[in-house]
A and B are shown apart, each in its own frame.
Chain A
Amino acid sequence: MNWQPNKHLHTFHGGIHPPENKQQSTRAAIETTLLPSKLILPLQQHIGQQAKTLVQVGDQVLKGQMIAEPNGYVSAAVHAPTSGTVTAIEAHALPHPSGLSEQCIIIEPDGKDEWTQLTPVVDYQQLAKADLLQHISDAGITGLGGAGFPTAVKLNPSEDLPINTLILNAAECEPYITADDMLMREHAAEVITGLQIMAHILQPEKCLIGIEVNKPEAIAALQHAVDELQLTELITIERIPVKYPSGGEKQLIQILTGMEVPNGGIPADIGMVCHNVGTAVAVSRAIIKGEPLISRITTITGEAVSRQGNIEVLLGTPIDTLLAHFGVKQDKLHRLVMGGPMMGFTLDDVSLPVVKATNCILAATRKELPDPAPEQACIRCGMCAEACPASLLPQQLYWFSKSREFDKALSHNLLDCIECGACSYVCPSNIPLVQYYRFAKGEIRIEEHERTASDHARQRFEARTARLEQEEAEKEAKRQARAEAAAAAKKAKEAASDSNDDKAIDPKAAVVQAALERAKARKAKKAAETATGEVADDTPSKQPAVDKDTPKLSAVERAKARKAARAAEQGNEQTTDKAAKKGGLSALEKAKAKRAQQADGSKPSEQPESSSKAEKKGPSALERAKAKRAAEGEQLTNSDTAAVDNTEPAKAMSALEKAKAKRAAQSSDAESTAAAAAPVSALERAKAKRAEQAQQSPSEPAAEEKKQLSALERAKLKRAQAADNEASVETSAASTTDRPDSADKKPMSALERAKAKRAEQAMQDAAEDSAADTENRD
């Protein structure tokens, strides 16, 4: 057989050739007999969500029993590696570069090694893809190459990414590690079966096994298995040159296919999926035998152990047990590395457990892995750039990282660094380059986080400022509108008094009088007449009503008069607003419109009650608004022809107008609703009550009644009150009616609160305006 690399392969930029140190641990077969006295099973042995515990302290568990289930899609189950008792579920230090502690399930084996009921798949070819994936997920399989990504997720790429090549990563390029090598030598058939199952799931056009030529036994074993299973059509074993880091997923893909995983993408983007050989074996066992992932093959090597080799070790086995088993020389052990010497991380605690990603424990002496040499200055020799498999410029990245010029580091694609360590390895100045990159990446991540946070804060602030400005502008616009309306109303009144007889003066006088009294009771009764009688009618029909009531000099009259005056004001306000709006709809106006619509939408119950609207109620808020406005227009026309010189707004309404109309309509609705008087709804009660209250004293709260009201009604009530107060001459009255409102505020929704606020605002404005009005009239 020929152990030269295949000729047709591609290559990747850079790479290094560190001493392999693989012979030490391949002399003996894989050991299997080691049952520790305690197993520590972290819930987080994978990338993704931490698993959810299924057992409690004191539970008896069987070998292979699921003791923690996946929590979400990207997560992995944990199983009991042997039978025994759960003695604790507590935080324990994890074998992770961070050295942090996480929740672990501690099991004390009972020594019986009793299996739980397993459910092997009889014929996986007959099983649906989803069921197979579920089996794999249930078996708690994660990538065994090192990263530990849940395998079922990786085997389930999105539908729009068809997979044409399934790659089995057998490169094992890191020095010292031989776990995959030994696995392939001894379990080649399972490797191929696992690959076959994965191929069944993914349906690729071809399967490639990338293996470095320094593993001739493994290559032979795999080839044998492929031949035996007659899979030569599907599976090709590619012998690749020995070069670190050819086992990097991106690098292996480049070697085998010449293609590059696009920046920020995943292999599936170019139709590829890459799995480790160990993962393939785990998949095979999960499907064929029904066994979950409860053990893995780990290399124990380094000069600080008296014998080096590979062992199929139960997950959760404490590393000190493992080291003791291989005869650790405590006095010589200087650096304990999990993983290889290039990308592994040091452990400072031997009680840490073996996890799913633990492919190697390197117990090195000081001589073997000497302490880092003193860092010298970078002379930009460029050896790092020669070695970089990602074609970066490590020397530049180093300068940028050191000087905290992270934007430049990013523009030099710092984030594409795979931290393989090739640059540090070749650096003649012994600069720990990868550490600098990790630092820079961390800083960039923090900066990004802070930027996002401050962006959010800024957005919130800007939104708030905008809202406040809008409210301010709204207020201002209203104020102005009212001032004009007041002037117009005054003029209109004068005109009306001129054209009509002196009866028209009576209401005016009444208003002035009422201003002091603040008797809002007018509304209930007055509305009863106006709404029932004249809403659909024309001017003449109203006029008599006024005539009829005037002599009584009751609150009703006064109220009516008030209403007339107010209607005039409203009408004018509308015109002014419309004119203002013509310059273009500002966001403010749109917001107003929206709010008006919302307000409308929030009280659909009002619709049927409103007699004036009943015939006109449209399906949409818009239509309703229109309808309302139309109704209002009528009302306005009815109430005071002379004052209402703005009948034309009825046609061609913009959103703004509609909104305005709505708001105006709401206030008039309130009246007309009350006026209808027929349905004895809570609303009316409220109205009536308010009328009473107004008669007695405007400041007296009718709390018990209000409580009964629904939020909607309360809101309405408030608006009605506001409308009431609009007519108020006394600002003091406005401020006192304020109080019951605030007592009421709590149960209201934000919308209603906003409405209430606006109502109050309107009330205040109106009070001022009408005060001015009154003065003018006087």
Chain B
Amino acid sequence: MSLLRVSSPHMTRPGNTGDVMLLVIMATLPGLAMLTWFFGWGTFINILWASLVAIGCEALIVALRGRPVRHYLRDYSAILTAVLLGLSLPPLAPWWLTLIAVSFAIIVAKHLYGGIGQNPFNPAMVGYALVLIAFPVEMTSWLAPQTLSITPGQSMGFIDALFAIFPFLSKISLSVSVETFDAVTMATPLDAFKHKGALTAEEFWSTELIVSTVSWKAWQLVSIGFLVGGIYLIYRKIFTWHIPVSMLAALGIMSLIFWSTDPSNYAYPELHLLGGATMLGAFFIATDPVTAATSIKGKLYYGAGIGILVYLIRNWGNYPDAIAFAVLLMNFVAPLIDHYTQPRTYGHKSTK
């Protein structure tokens, strides 16, 4: 009998970082299901491809750093980054776009800063921002919702999506009937609204028929999918409600104020909350604990900051959506917020 000398506590809750990451990945499923339902297999294939790239990059760098590869792969953080990127990129984003985004996210944004837990910026958003700036055309062509599209012949199967993403595959596999497929791409509702030109909001909604009905509905459902996943994570205490709620509240209030003062120029709050990547951002991007503020008060400030920045960039910036930039900007501020929002410790009169 050899008795161990171990420092207390001797009991820990079962589980590890990998479990947390897996849970978050699972929570993206409702949103992913909606995306796949409306926009075909593109996103799904993106995620698979991104995950492969992520595992490869992670293993490579961890091996280069002389760390135990299996131990680090098992925290699933690289896969989560890949999943989040896959969900953010357009469904038919070409394979090299995903490759660039994911490898940059893992190698530069994560490991160059010291690996898991050390990165000051959300790796997925760094990767996303890179390809958004570098390849604006590819990044802004989103598929039209296919399930509700009028012509059934245009519905896109798994193979079609695969070939669209990896065009060279169609040349290799001759068995498959090569069928040039012209994906119907169109702007997201937010994008369309932003580029409505001289139209007033009312005119926009009446003219842009597809946006106003089919696409809009699809996006609402996708957002609700992410919302459901996010609420589940809050229920499982993976993160607290503070960041998503304050972010959504800030964005909602901002849009409400502007919309109520000038409804013909500003989109109504619902479009901001359910159009675009708002829900994905609020529950899965902004809540990335490594890069967010930590104290309760800090989280509220952090979330609100993202919400406000999203609104500002969407309305007056160059990009139709702004989650990535808003999150990255707030990543800069997070340490400062942390410094000024220490909670009051038991027995202390006030925070410093």
Contacts and interface: CB of A to CB of B under 8 A. Distances in A.
Given A382-B289, A424-B12, A428-B20, A263 B345 contact: yes
B1 interface: yes
B12 A393 contact: no
A348 B5 contact: yes
A343 B117 contact: no
B15 A379 contact: no
B10 A369 contact: yes
A376 B5 contact: no
B7 A380 contact: no
Contacts of A42: none
B75 interface: yes
Nearest to A336: B3
Contacts of A386: 237, 240
Contact of B345 (A362, A390, A419, A434): A390
Contacts of A342: 8-11
Contact of B9 (A19, A382, A434): A434
A709 to B, nearest CB: 65
B182 to A, nearest CB: 43
Contact of A346 (B3, B12, B19, B345): B3
A438 interface: yes
Interface in B46-87: 71, 75, 77
A416 B346 contact: yes
B16 A429 contact: yes
A213 interface: no
B276 interface: no
Given A344-B8, A376-B75, A425 B13 contact: yes
A335 B289 contact: no
Interface string A413-436: 100100111001111111010110
B285 to A, nearest CB: 15
Interface string B273-289: 00000000000000001
Interface stretch (B32-40, B207-215, B336-344): B336-344
B4 A379 contact: no
A391 B345 contact: yes
B8 A421 contact: yes
Residue among A254, A344, A381 with max Cβ neighbours from chain B (10 Å): A381
Given A335-B3, A381-B20, A429-B17, A260 B117 contact: no
A378 B290 CA distance: 8
B347 interface: yes
A385 B1 contact: no
Contact of A438 (B7, B294, B343): B7
A330 B115 CA distance: 43
A145 interface: no
A175 B11 contact: yes
A303 B352 CA distance: 47
Contacts of A378: 117
Nearest to A373: B16
B117 A379 contact: yes
Question: Which DSSP category, helix, strand, loop or mixed, fits chain B's interface?
Answer: loop
B8 A382 contact: no
Contacts of B75: 376-377
A342 B4 CA distance: 16
Contacts of B342: 393, 412
Contacts of B345: 263, 390-392, 413, 416
A395 interface: yes
Contacts of B116: 376-377, 379
A428 B17 contact: yes
Residue among B4, B118, B348 with max Cβ neighbours from chain A (10 Å): B4
B200 interface: no
A371 B8 contact: no
Given A341-B11, A379-B17, A391 B343 contact: yes
B238 interface: yes
B194 to A, nearest CB: 34
Contacts, number: 170
Contacts of B5: 99, 346, 348
A544 interface: no
A262 B347 contact: yes
A411 B340 CA distance: 12
Interface string A343-374: 11111111000000000001010000101111
Interface residues of B, number: 43
B71 A346 contact: no
Nearest to A344: B8
Contacts of B8: 337, 339, 341-345, 419, 421, 434
B172 interface: no
Contacts of B348: 263, 413, 416
Contact of B295 (A250, A341, A385): A385
A393 to B, nearest CB: 6
A646 interface: no
Question: Which DSSP category, helix, strand, loop or mixed, fits chain A's interface?
Answer: loop
A461 B294 CA distance: 46
A346 B346 contact: no
Residue among A16, A343, A362, A376 with max Cβ neighbours from chain B (10 Å): A376
A431 to B, nearest CB: 10
B77 A343 contact: no
B4 A335 contact: yes
A458 interface: no
Contacts of A509: none
Given A376-B16, A377-B115, A416-B346, A348 B4 contact: yes
A74 interface: no
Contacts of B1: 330-331, 333
A389 interface: yes
Contacts of A262: 347, 349
B239 interface: yes
Contacts of B352: 411
Nearest to A350: B3
Given A335-B4, A377-B115, A261 B347 contact: yes
A69 to B, nearest CB: 33
Nearest to A392: B345
A346 B289 CA distance: 34
Given A336-B3, A379-B290, A428-B19, A260 B9 contact: no
A396 B16 contact: no
B6 interface: yes
Contacts of B3: 333-336, 346-350
Contacts of A421: 8-9, 11
B6 A374 contact: no
A231 to B, nearest CB: 31
A379 B18 CA distance: 11
A395 B290 CA distance: 11
Contacts of B19: 428
Interface in A248-270: 250, 254, 260-265
Contact of A416 (B6, B12, B238, B347): B347
Contacts of A380: 117, 289-290, 292, 294
Contact of A381 (B7, B118, B239): B239
Contacts of A618: none
A344 B8 CA distance: 6
Q: List 3 A-B pairs, minimum CB-CB distance, nearest first.
A: A421-B9, A377-B117, A263-B347
29 contacts: A16-B13, A250-B346, A261-B347, A262-B347, A334-B3, A335-B3, A335-B10, A344-B8, A349-B3, A369-B11, A371-B4, A377-B17, A377-B118, A379-B17, A381-B20, A381-B239, A382-B294, A383-B237, A385-B343, A386-B240, A390-B346, A393-B343, A420-B9, A421-B11, A424-B12, A428-B13, A428-B19, A429-B17, A430-B16
Interface of A: 12-13, 16, 18-19, 97, 99, 175, 250, 254, 260-265, 330-331, 333-337, 339, 341-350, 362, 364, 369, 371-374, 376-383, 385-386, 389-393, 395-396, 411-413, 416, 419-421, 424-430, 432, 434-435, 438
Given A175-B11, A393-B342, 16 more contacts: A12-B346, A18-B11, A263-B346, A263-B347, A265-B347, A344-B8, A344-B10, A364-B10, A374-B71, A379-B117, A381-B20, A382-B294, A390-B345, A390-B347, A412-B342, A428-B20
